[in-house]
Amino acid sequence: MRTRKNRTFRLFKEIAKLAAPPPDLTVSEWADEYRYLSPEDSAEPGKWRTDRAPYQREMMDAVNDPDVETVVFMTSAQVGKTAIISNIIGYHIHQDPAPMMLIQPTLELAQAYSKDRLAPMLRDTPVLRGKVKDAKARDSGNTMLHKIFPGGHITMAGANSPSSLASRPIRIVLCDEVDRYPISAGTEGDPVSLVAMRASTFLNRKIILVSTPTIRGASRIETAYEDSTMEQWCLPCPSCEEYQPLSWKQIRFEDATHVCKFCGAIHDEFEWKEGKGKWIARKENPKIRGFHLNALASPWRLWSELIEMFQKANADGPEKLKVFINTILGETWEENSELDNIDTFLDRREEYEADLPDGVLLLTAGVDTQDDRLEYEIVGWGKGHESWGIEYGVIIGKPDDAQTMQQLDDVLNRVYKFQDGKGLKVACTCIDSGGHYTTEIYKYTKRNEHRRILAIKGLGSPGIPLIHRYSRNNKEKALLVTLGVDDGKSSIYSALKVQEPGPRYCHFPSDDSRGYDRFYFQGLLSEKLVPRKKNGAIRYTWEKVSSSVRNEALDTRNYAQAAREIINPNYEALEKRLKGTTASVSTPVRKRQELKKQLVKKTNIW
């Protein structure tokens, strides 16, 4: 009888635990009381201290506000946002059990979070230890991506996997790095909208959106933040005590200090960070709180280090600067791909004293095929991918005509010379295999692979690298290189924006006989990035500025750039080799097998 009473008592005790109201602790209070950071998860393992980064307190506690339904974190990298996600999960496992889902950009990243972040927290935070049963136990409910605990469960999913977003009621939705999510989860639609629907049946639902931003106008996190309270972490000026966000525009590079925008006083980062900060909202929205934070507020990044990072990124070009703006300042990058002032490029053309100006160390070619002609460009490359347009031309004739291809051979076999008589030949050529003459192009490139003349096929989708894939899945067994042409176009337009000769700068000759006239530049600048809405999300696509403008010049430059990437040149070695060549002597003809072996070594595609 006593045993039965004990069992009944324990049963009611367990039921009481599940039915009990949430505790008075907030997420930050729970973390300060119970959370331990793991060695593999933190550079500062041990007891959690919110005061180490005080801006995190209100970011976490917004989850406890009964009036708030959505919380948005638009931040830089390395400000502790992943630790905040883990604290929210740990809090709900221990204090307020609920069905939860954490969505990462890919299923692989979801698995990595489970293994590298969640598992160590469950192991090293005493109050969580044992909440999730041993994965080795039968019917434990503990798998890599799904873990059951008393009163709830946590599922980790990939935004790229529709099956992992399968329908099930979820009260706490955590979306990490939403700007890296695909436009659609398979054919199901926007991943964020899909998983938010899972929480619609809960009156006390919480949706947490977290990300470093990407491109302005196409950033999910920016859109969500602009629909929120739009809060900024502000610190008081050590002199006038006026609160303000730390701004990159107010940073002095010479001494790593910050200028007050109110009184003009100058203080170093330690003086600023000694102040008691607070979040200041710019809009009212009782249901959506949004927090923006940059790395200037981080206790783990020195301003002097950030200045060095900026200067290097600025020197390396727009693509690296974009990464800095996104991941360090936590701001969106304004894509300005439209370069429509053709006269600017006509005016900056320069006179070459020979076929090849000094600085050129490598020649590549890009060839576009049309039904009645071939269009090609020979491009010279130097250190830092500085480029020189050497020749743009058109060969009239069908691609299946032997005479047409012989004329192309003449172009590609030519020795282009420097002023001192030394010369270079085209090292690699990429030829478009699309259109109506695919078989003929395959046959031509198959015969000429030993000369590094390769067939290419372009894929026009964002996120695909310029050199995407090598294959021989065609009847002729010709090597086919699949290109991510959108990535290549972005790189070209970024290089065209470089204003001073040096790394990535584009030179063009003033001699009209080389083909660099107004029509060439109309073709080179024939496309721009246009925002288009699809499945509830904005994506940028490359579109022609006018249906009447031809874009072969842009395509051939893209293919020549791809040929350079295939070669993957060592410019220092090329410079030494060029200095050792004798005047007016072209590269000796080598045996097919020797060239094939060299190509294997450089590209690893055979």
Residues 6+ apart with CB under 8 A from 506: 387, 389, 495, 496, 498
Q: Which residue has the higher pLDDT, 189 or 228?
A: 228
With 60 as the cut, is the pLDDT of residue 16 above it? Answer: no
Q: How far apart are CA 416 and CA 400, in angstroms?
A: 27
Comparing C-alpha atoms, which of 126, 490, 134 is closest to residue 323?
490
Shared domain check, 97 and 34: yes
Residues 154 and 250 in one domain: no
Instruction: Based on the fold, state whether residues 261 and 226 are members of the same structural domain.
Output: no
Per the domain annotation, does 13 fall within a domain? no
Cα–Cα distance between 458 and 127 in angstroms, integer?
A: 54
pLDDT in tens, 107-165: 999 999 999 999 999 999 999 998 887 666 555 568 889 999 999 999 999 988 777 77
**Is pLDDT above 50 for 40?**
yes
Residue 180 located in a structural domain: yes
pLDDT value for 546: 80
- Cβ(449)–Cβ(479) below 8 Å: yes
pLDDT surpassing 80 at residue 178:
yes
CATH code of the domain containing 447: 3.30.420
Mean of pLDDT values over 448-465: 90
**Contacts for 408 with CB less than 8 Å, ≥ 6 apart:** 367, 374, 376, 395
Point out the domain boundary residue: 230, 254, 270. Answer: 230
Average pLDDT, the chain: 88
Percent share of the chain, pLDDT over 70: 87
Mean of the pLDDT values across residues 290-299?
96
| CATH assignment of the domain containing 267 | 2.30.30
What number is the average pLDDT over the span 558-567? 96
Whether 6 is in a domain gets the answer no
Q: Is residue 296 part of a domain?
A: no
* Local structure of residue 259 (DSSP, 8 states): E
93 and 200 belong to one structural domain: yes
108 and 215 in a single domain? The answer is yes
* Structural domain count, the chain: 4
Is the pLDDT assigned to residue 533 strictly greater than 70?
no
503 inside domain: yes
**What gap in Å lies between CA 326 and CA 305, rounded to an integer?**
16
Length of the chain: 606
Strands 172-176 and 99-104: parallel
Q: Which residues lie across from 46 on neighbouring strands?
A: 37
- CATH number, domain at 92? 3.40.50.300
pLDDT confidence of residue 480: 95
Tens digits of per-residue pLDDT, 387-445? 999 999 999 999 999 999 999 999 999 999 999 999 999 999 999 998 889 999 999 99
Binned at pLDDT 50, 70 and 90, residue 183 comes out as: confident
Q: Is the pLDDT of residue 340 over 70?
A: no
| pLDDT, tens digit, 9 for 90 and up, residues 155-173 | 999 988 777 776 678 999 9
Do residue 169 and residue 240 come from a single domain?
A: no
Q: Does pLDDT of 596 surpass 60?
A: no
Tell whether 65 and 194 lie within a shared domain. yes
pLDDT digits 0-9 by tens, 312-338: 887 776 778 889 999 999 999 876 555
Same domain assignment for residues 349 and 446: yes
pLDDT bracket for residue 603 (50, 70, 90): very low
User: Does residue 295 lie within any of the structural domains?
Assistant: no
Question: Does the pLDDT value for residue 20 go beyond 80?
Answer: no
Same domain, 249 and 352: no
pLDDT value of position 601:
42
pLDDT given for residue 268 in this prediction: 96
The 3-state DSSP class for residue 278 equals strand
Q: Range of 244's domain?
A: 232-281
Range in 60-74, 88-102, 147-161, 267-281 with the lowest mean pLDDT: 147-161
pLDDT band at 537 (very low <50, low <70, confident <90, very high): low
Strand partners of residue 47: 36
Residue 363 lies in a domain: yes
Q: Average of pLDDT values for 538-554?
A: 83
Residues 147 and 262 in one domain: no
pLDDT in tens, 198-250: 888 899 999 999 999 988 878 899 999 999 999 999 999 999 999 999 999 99
The per-residue pLDDT for 88 is 98
Give the whole-angstrom CA distance, residue 377 versus residue 325. Answer: 34
Which distant-in-sequence residues (6+ apart) come within 8 Å of 129 by Cβ?
A: 122, 123
Percentage, residues of the chain above pLDDT 90: 68
- For the chain, the first-to-last Cα distance in angstroms comes to 79
Q: Please name the residue that has the structure tokens 């005509």.
A: 401
One-letter amino acid identity for 497? K
Same-domain check for residues 77 and 222: yes
Q: In terms of domains, do 430 and 473 share one?
A: yes
On whether residue 119 sits in a domain, the answer given is: yes
